[in-house]
Amino acid sequence: MAQAVVIGGGPAGLMAAEMLARAGHAVTVAEAKPSLGRKLLMAGKSGLNLTKEEEGATFLAAYAEAGCWLAPMLQDFGPAEVRAWAADLGQETFAGSTGRVFPVAMKASPLLRAWIGRLTGLGVRFLTRWRWTGWDDAGLSFATPQGPQHLRAEATVLALGGASWARLGSDGAWTELLSARGVMLAPFAPANAGVSVDWSRHMPAVFGQPLKGVAFRAGPYTSRGEAVISAKGLEGSGIYAVSRGVREGHSLNVDLMPDLPLDEVAQRLARPRGRDTLSNHLRKTLKPGPAAAALLNEFGRPLPLAPELLAAKVKELTIRHAGLRPLDEPISTAGGVPAAALNAQLMLQAMPGTFCAGEMLDWEAPTGGYLLTACLATGRQAGLGAARWLDERSR
């Protein structure tokens, strides 16, 4: 029986292990952390968003330029297949009003437990606290609580994550190991990231408050999602969806009244305000909410008195910021192993028998189920490719 080693116990690695085990190969999963799926569990704290209920072309568009590369994998294992896979693990799913798909149980832990149980039943062996340190004459080398250890593998699947959330295992340290083997990598960059803002002394009063009913824009990227004003800056799905535009150098703008056209905003502001201050007039005519009003005061001052000029500020307020949050904080990262370094089965061109999957690949997508679906789909592809490689070598 051929021996395969999967390094990384997140969704991509576990899916690769399942494909290999179902193909009849002996599989060992080595995970640096004390337990499996730590980032998956963290992502599921507020409800595990498994996938997005969308048609093929619309779904693929979320992956931008990587959509063509990922298309065959996502067509084989897309939203419908993810839901069927979860149901087979005893976790029925539902789609919310926005199309986001969640387990009925909402949490990640029941699904992860069922999955690990199934993999154990297929004979998969798990080694935790085994941190991969590279290759040597004895094979794959690991730092473990028992000291240096080695594993021999006829096929290896790397599913090591990107470079965000190092405390959960994705620290990007593997880049040095692959670079030393001649693998050309794309540099990491933050994706689905918050923006840093140096707030004035007037803003702490609204820290923790949500910005609802607004629209963000950074270059070609737009979002109607929510954001939260934090001590560090702006966080939340609305900001994450446009963070790529910020990273590319576009200005960050917010429309505080996206459901009202510019002329309607101007007409409301042109109403007589009597003895009201301008701030009270704004509050009564537009009802922006405390967070949005604070944002307008922060970045719109001095507020113009002319209704049409003030309306223009309300409809396109430029947010002065200090760039995206540091690399370890975003939900995901761009960069990593590019398509050019891999064949169609996700095997490294420079290292036959070594496959890559998940967030360590150079693709990015917004939150909303796209990230997890692509991790599962690429893990499946790498696992199938490794199984085929082993089968061909045994003939």
Residue 101 lies in a domain: yes
Query: pLDDT tens for residues 52-76?
Result: 999 889 999 999 999 999 999 999 9
Distance CA 381, CA 377 (A): 6
C-alpha atoms less than 13 angstroms from C-alpha of 226 in its C-beta half-sphere: 9
Q: Is the peptide bond before 302 cis (omega within 30 degrees of 0)?
A: yes
DSSP state of 357: -
Q: What is the pLDDT of residue 299?
A: 97
Among 166, 164, 167, smallest CA distance to 188 is for 164
Residue 215 and residue 99 share a domain? no
Q: What is the pLDDT of residue 210?
A: 95
Residue 18 and residue 166 share a domain? yes
Domain boundary, last residue among 262, 294, 318:
318
Residue 140 and residue 225 share a domain? no
Contacts of 68 (CB under 8 A, 6+ apart): none
Distance CA 148, CA 385 (A): 29
Q: What is the pLDDT of residue 374?
A: 98
Residue 152 and residue 214 share a domain? no
Residue 16 clears pLDDT 80, i.e. is over it? yes
Q: Report the DSSP beta bridge partners of residue 355.
A: 157, 347
Residue 62 lies in a domain: yes
Residue 394 clears pLDDT 90, i.e. is over it? no
pTM greater than the 0.85 cutoff = yes
Q: What is the pLDDT of residue 387?
A: 98
Confidence of residue 1 (pLDDT cuts 50, 70, 90): low
Residue 361 and residue 259 share a domain? no
Query: pLDDT tens for residues 301-318?
Result: 999 989 999 999 999 999
Residue 2 clears pLDDT 80, i.e. is over it? no
Residue 303 lies in a domain: yes
Distance CA 30, CA 4 (A): 11
Which amino acid is it at 317? L
Distance CA 380, CA 17 (A): 8
Whichever domain contains 139, its CATH number is: 3.50.50.60
Among 18, 22, 134, 62, smallest CA distance to 372 is for 62
227 three-class SS: strand
Residue 204 and residue 151 share a domain? no
CB atoms within 10 A of CB 230: 15
Residue 199 and residue 175 share a domain? no
Q: What is the pLDDT of residue 55?
A: 84
Residue 207 and residue 113 share a domain? no
Say how many domains are in the chain.
2
Query: pLDDT tens for residues 216-239?
Result: 999 999 999 899 999 999 999 999
Contacts of 188 (CB under 8 A, 6+ apart): 162, 163, 172, 175, 327, 333, 334, 335, 336
Q: Which domain holds residue 375?
A: 3-190+330-394
Backbone angles phi, psi at 144, to 5 degrees: -135, 170
What percent of the chain has pLDDT above 70?
99
Domain boundary, last residue among 277, 292, 318:
318
Residue 307 lies in a domain: yes
Backbone angles phi, psi at 189, to 5 degrees: -145, 150
Residue 185 and residue 155 share a domain? yes
b/e per residue, 254-268, with b = 16+ CB within 10 A? bbbbeebeeeebbeb
Query: pLDDT tens for residues 78-99?
Result: 999 999 999 999 999 999 999 9
Residue 324 lies in a domain: no
The better pLDDT of the pair 2, 274 is held by 274
Residue 181 and residue 32 share a domain? yes
Residue 274 lies in a domain: yes
Residue 324 clears pLDDT 90, i.e. is over it? yes
63 three-class SS: coil
Residue 200 clears pLDDT 80, i.e. is over it? yes
Residue 25 lies in a domain: yes
Residue 289 and residue 202 share a domain? yes
Query: pLDDT tens for residues 258-278?
Result: 999 999 999 999 999 889 999
Residue 139 and residue 46 share a domain? yes
C-alpha atoms less than 13 angstroms from C-alpha of 352 in its C-beta half-sphere: 5
Residue 203 lies in a domain: yes
Distance CA 196, CA 194 (A): 7
Q: For the chain, give the mean pLDDT.
A: 96
Find out whether 160 and 142 touch, Cβ atoms under 8 Å.
no
